[in-house]
Structure 1
């Protein structure tokens, strides 16, 4: 999947999905690149929801709304995906309430919203990586390095320490 230029509809799609899912969770927000106006992104609406206990998530209710469970990318969270008829895709990350305030995805979104120069640097970096490498492993690796740097800046701005670098 390639990145698309910013689409003003992404904010509304994210907001609508949050309203629909809110009764099932303690908190829910639109996160990821589509939550940052002016940022190119994969046309994928990322959402993050919080629950006190992952075992209490109502899989049947989510399935009724079109969300199918997927293998989790990160330990300690659940992942669901929904595909709409208009080719819009949604990814729902469910985490525990006790980790909500320190989630990097939320911190990064807020940092990019508050720091347009960081958002623009990220946008330029993504476009450059896509132009140089196309979609694939080299793009993903390059983007991961930039994301790690920006997420560390977001954590520091929030008064949190940077996360240790994981061996890949």
Structure 2
């Protein structure tokens, strides 16, 4: 999957998905590149939701909305995926409420929304890496240093310490 130029529909799709799923969670938000107007992205609507306890998640309930659990190595997170008829994918990241306020994904999104110059730097890097490497691990690794820098800035602005952007 390659990156696409910004699409105005992404914000609406993210908002609609959050409205539909909101009754299932304490909080749910559209995060990731498609949540930032003007940012090129893979056509994937990333959603992050919080629950009191990850053990309370019902796979069968989420399946009624088209979301299927996908095993990952990400600790303290459940990951669900939904494919839409128009080739838009939805990724649902479910995390415990205890760390909701300081989730890197939320902080980075908010930073990019508030700092257009950083958004543009990130957009240029994404285009460059996609042209050089195509989709895959090299593309993802190539973004890491800038994502860490921007996330660190967002965390520092809130008086939070740096933490790695990739969970291991």
> Taking structure 1 as the reference length, what is the TM-score of the superposition?
0.95
Name the counterpart of 2:150. Answer: 150
Are the aligned partners of 2:47 and 2:92 in contact in 1 as well (CA < 8 Å)?
yes
* SS at structure 1 position matched to 2:48: strand
Distance in 2, Cα, partners of 1:165 & 1:16: 27
Name the counterpart of 1:85. Answer: 85
**RMSD of aligned C-alpha atoms?**
1.7
Name the counterpart of 2:19. Answer: 19
Are the aligned partners of 1:3 and 1:42 in contact in 2 as well (CA < 8 Å)?
yes
Distance in 2, Cα, partners of 1:28 & 1:55: 17
Aligned residue runs from structure 1 range 1-168, under 5 A? 1-164=1-164
Task: Please give the per-residue CA displacement for 1:44-91, whole angstroms capped at 9, x wherever unaligned.
Answer: 000000000011112211000000000134200100000011111000
Alignment gaps of 5+ in structure 2: none
Alignment gaps of 5+ in structure 1: none
Task: Please give the per-residue CA displacement for 1:28-55, whole angstroms capped at 9, x wherever unaligned.
Answer: 0000000000000000000000000011
* Deviation, structure 1 residue 137: 2.3
Distance in 1, Cα, partners of 2:152 & 2:34: 20
Using the TM superposition, name which of 120-129 and 156-165 deviates more.
Answer: 156-165
* SS at structure 2 position matched to 1:91: strand
